[in-house]
């Protein structure tokens, strides 16, 4: 439908307007003209042709102008000519002066007979002013208005692009500042923990203490590696943490947690589904945060981690039994919020809460393809 209305900028209302203008011009011309002078046989066809030509005035305004001028010797009124002049002025602006020579030549044929009348000069000025200059000036005004609106629209778009660029620069600068703070504070503290745990493992009084210290050191080293990946993401949008094989690394994550004394049961589909990097990282973070929360709020409770693939959906479920005794480990209060945001960014949905049978469940669903790895 819009392709058929390309001459009218894809707007049916403009087509309806042109049809109404053409019909009105034909009706007024037939009602007010004099078919007896000078060519009665050509009068009605000329009126119809000049009126129908107005339907294409937006596409070929000069052609419509020539048709209106050509129909004037048959006694057609100046109404089609006025509309044609207005259309040429709207379309071409000041360059309409080129077409005015044709218009004046056509009008001269109707004006010359009037020159013999006593008030010929006044009548000529009136005719030229009202039927020629009026439509031309109105068309020029519309042309300049459209040009001004185009300039204002372009400036608004440019201002919007500038604001977006400045906002992106501000975000990038803030991300670099956060990266520096994380590197100077968090990385330093975690490195200190890793070094102290390593020293303790070398001088441990017994095997159990040595094992615990080694677990702390290994966990701190893994946290440093992940922190470096986060810092790379913060410093450069084009660099992201690797996502391939993330699902397989869940086994390593569970082993690290069980090394601290927790009881975790992991069930993975065989074979593992091939998921986008963003989904893989989101699954890893969901399991990691859920295990952390279980250790804080339900210490020593058994935790079940299960991944299931149903059609094009990957479900991640982490459940643990609720216990009346929590942990003194402080939390930020943003664990579930951050988990939900990460899941939604990966195109999934997250549900958390008690199950009604004395357990707490974290359930996340992600859309995945049908391939496996």
For the segment 19-63, what is each residue's pLDDT rounded down to a tens digit?
888 888 888 777 765 555 555 667 778 888 888 888 888 888 878
The answer to whether 331 and 294 have CB atoms below 8 angstroms apart is no
For the segment 100-145, what is each residue's pLDDT rounded down to a tens digit?
655 655 565 555 454 444 545 666 667 666 767 778 788 888 888 8
Higher pLDDT: 349 or 331? It is: 349
For the segment 241-278, what is each residue's pLDDT rounded down to a tens digit?
444 467 778 888 888 888 777 889 999 888 888 888 88
Q: Give me Rg for the CA atoms of the chain.
A: 40
What per-residue confidence (pLDDT) applies to 366? Answer: 92
What per-residue confidence (pLDDT) applies to 115? Answer: 47
State how far the alpha carbon of 275 is from the alpha carbons of 117, 312, 314, in Å: 92, 10, 9
Rounded-to-integer distance, Cα 214 and Cα 200, Å: 8
| Statement: the pTM of the whole predicted model exceeds 0.75 | no
Cis before residue 38, ω within 30 degrees of 0?
yes
Rounded-to-integer distance, Cα 262 and Cα 264, Å: 6
Question: Worst-scoring range by mean pLDDT, 69-73, 112-116, 125-129, 349-353?
Answer: 112-116
Paired sense of beta strands 264-267 and 349-354, if any: unpaired
The single residue listed with the structure tokens 């988990």 is 339
SS3 of residue 225 by DSSP: helix
The answer to whether 243 and 282 have CB atoms below 8 angstroms apart is no
């Amino acid at each position: 439908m819009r392709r058929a209305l390309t001459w009218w900028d894809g707007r049916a209302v403009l087509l309806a307007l042109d049809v109404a203008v053409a019909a009105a011009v034909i009706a007024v011309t037939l009602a007010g003209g004099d078919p007896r002078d000078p060519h009665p046989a050509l009068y009605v066809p000329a009126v119809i042709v000049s009126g129908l030509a107005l339907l294409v005035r937006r596409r070929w305004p000069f052609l419509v102008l020539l048709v209106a001028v050509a129909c004037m010797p048959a006694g057609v009124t100046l109404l089609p000519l006025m509309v044609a002049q207005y259309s040429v002025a709207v379309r071409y602006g000041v360059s309409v002066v080129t077409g005015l020579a044709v218009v004046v030549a056509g009008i001269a044929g109707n004006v010359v007979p009037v020159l013999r009348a006593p008030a010929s000069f006044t009548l000529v000025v009136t005719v030229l002013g009202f039927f020629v200059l009026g439509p031309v000036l109105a068309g020029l005004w519309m042309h300049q208005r459209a040009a001004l609106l185009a300039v204002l629209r372009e400036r608004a778009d440019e201002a919007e692009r500038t604001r977006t660029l400045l906002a992106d620069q501000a975000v990038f600068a803030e991300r670099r500042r956060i990266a520096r703070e994380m590197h100077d504070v968090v990385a330093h503290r975690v490195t200190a923990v890793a070094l102290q745990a390593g020293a303790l493992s070398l001088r441990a009084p017994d095997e159990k203490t040595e094992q615990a210290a080694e677990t702390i050191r290994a966990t701190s080293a893994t946290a440093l590696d992940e922190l470096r990946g986060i810092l790379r993401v913060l410093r450069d949008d084009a660099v992201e943490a690797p996502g391939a094989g993330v699902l397989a690394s869940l086994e390593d994550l569970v082993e690290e947690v069980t090394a601290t004394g927790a009881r975790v049961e992991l069930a993975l589909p065989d074979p593992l589904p091939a998921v986008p990097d963003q989904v893989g990282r989101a699954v890893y973070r969901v399991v990691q945060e859920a295990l952390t929360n279980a250790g804080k709020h339900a210490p020593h409770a058994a935790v079940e981690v299960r991944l299931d693939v149903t059609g094009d959906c990957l479900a991640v479920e982490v459940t643990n039994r609720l216990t009346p005794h929590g942990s003194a480990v402080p939390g930020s209060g943003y664990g579930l919020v951050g988990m939900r945001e990460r899941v939604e960014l990966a195109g999934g949905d997250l549900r958390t809460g008690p199950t009604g049978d004395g357990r707490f469940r974290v359930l996340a669903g992600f859309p995945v393809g049908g391939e496996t790895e």
